[in-house]
A and B are shown apart, each in its own frame.
Chain A
C-alpha cells in the first residue's frame, strides 16, 4: 500500500481501515450511506494499493445503488481494500 511519491504511515493506514470497515458494514446492511463512506475511504487511500478497489466500489454504488449484484461486487472490492490497509497497519512500527 505504498503511496505514489510518498510514505504511508500507521495513522494513514488506520484512517483507511476505519473508514473502510464502516463502509463494509454499511454495505452488508444495505445502508444508503455506503456509497458516501466508500468515497471517503477511497480519498483517504489515494495513491495506495487500496485506492483503486475502493474507488471502483464507490463508483459502482453511485451508479446503481439498488442493484444486488452491484452491492455484492462493491462489498468484495471494499473487503479487499480493507485488507490492504490492515496489512499496512499491522506491519508499521
Chain B
C-alpha cells in the first residue's frame, strides 16, 4: 500500500531498522506489550489477531495484553468484541493476554460473567470514549469488581480536556488496593497524575504514545511498555523506550522491568 503511494520502501526499512537499534534489549529480557486493541474501531482503525502476532514476531514481542477497540456493539456493552478478544487469546495461547473492555455507565453483570469464564486477566476502561469519570460511582464499582478478582485495570489517561490528578487520587482513595495502569504516561496531565499517585505502588504508567519528557521523570519501576496498536506501532513504541533509557540512564535491570518484568508481576507468567 505504501509502495503504491510512492513511498521509498528501502528508506522506510532502513528507518525501521534504525528505530529497532534505538532500544537495547538486555539479555533474557522478555518484551510484553501492555496496550493493544483488537477489532475495528468506529473511527476506522483496525487490527486482526493474526496481523498483530505477525508484527509481534517481527519486533521480538513475546506477548501482548489485548482488549477491544472502541467497538461497543449493538447493546453498547462490548460483549461481542470482548468475546472476539477472548477467542484470539485461545487461538494464540501465551501471545495474547485478554483484558475485557467495560462501559461502566451500563449494567456490567453480563460482561463480568462472560469475563469470569473466558480467561480474562484484566479490565480496560476509557473515560473519554465511554464518557464517565474515573472517580465516579459507576467506575469505582467496576474497579472494585476487578480488584476483587485480582485483575489490574488499564485506564486511557491522556489526550482529554479534564484534569486527571485529583480524579485518580479520589479513585485510589475509594479502592486503595486497586492496581491501575494509566495509559499514555498520563500525557496531557502527567505532572498532576504523577504527583497524585506517587507513593502508590499499585499505579503504573504505560509508555504507549507517551511524551518523552514525562517518561524520563518517572522511576522506571512505574513504567510498562505499550504500543497502543493499531493507533501506534511497534517500531516507534520501542524507539520511545530506547530513547527514554538513553536519556534517563536506565540500567539493564530497569530496562527489563519496563519491557516486561514489571507487567508480568501483575498479570502472571505468559507463554504457551
Contact = CB atoms under 8 A, between A and B. Distances in A.
A15 interface: no
Interface string B212-247: 110010000000000000001101100110010011
Contact of B8 (A56, A72, A76, A84): A56
Nearest to B212: A86
Interface in A45-62: 52-53, 56, 59-60
Interface stretch (B11-19, B75-83, B198-206, B263-271): B11-19
B247 A90 contact: yes
Interface residues of B, number: 26
Interface string A50-86: 0011001001100110011110110011011011101
Contacts of A36: none
B58 interface: no
B212 A73 contact: no
Contacts of B233: 72, 76
A80 B20 CA distance: 11
A7 interface: no
Contact of A87 (B1, B2, B6, B246): B246
A6 to B, nearest CB: 21
17 contacts: A52-B15, A52-B18, A56-B8, A56-B11, A60-B5, A70-B5, A70-B7, A77-B236, A79-B236, A80-B236, A82-B212, A83-B243, A86-B211, A86-B243, A87-B246, A90-B212, A90-B216
Interface of B: 1-2, 5-8, 11-12, 15, 18-19, 44, 209, 211-213, 216, 232-233, 235-236, 239-240, 243, 246-247
Among all A-B residue pairs, the 5 with the closest Cβ atoms: A64-B5, A63-B6, A86-B212, A69-B1, A76-B236
Given A76-B236, A86-B211, A90-B247, 17 more contacts: A53-B15, A56-B8, A56-B11, A59-B8, A60-B5, A60-B7, A63-B6, A63-B7, A64-B6, A69-B2, A70-B2, A76-B232, A77-B236, A79-B236, A87-B243, A90-B212, A90-B213
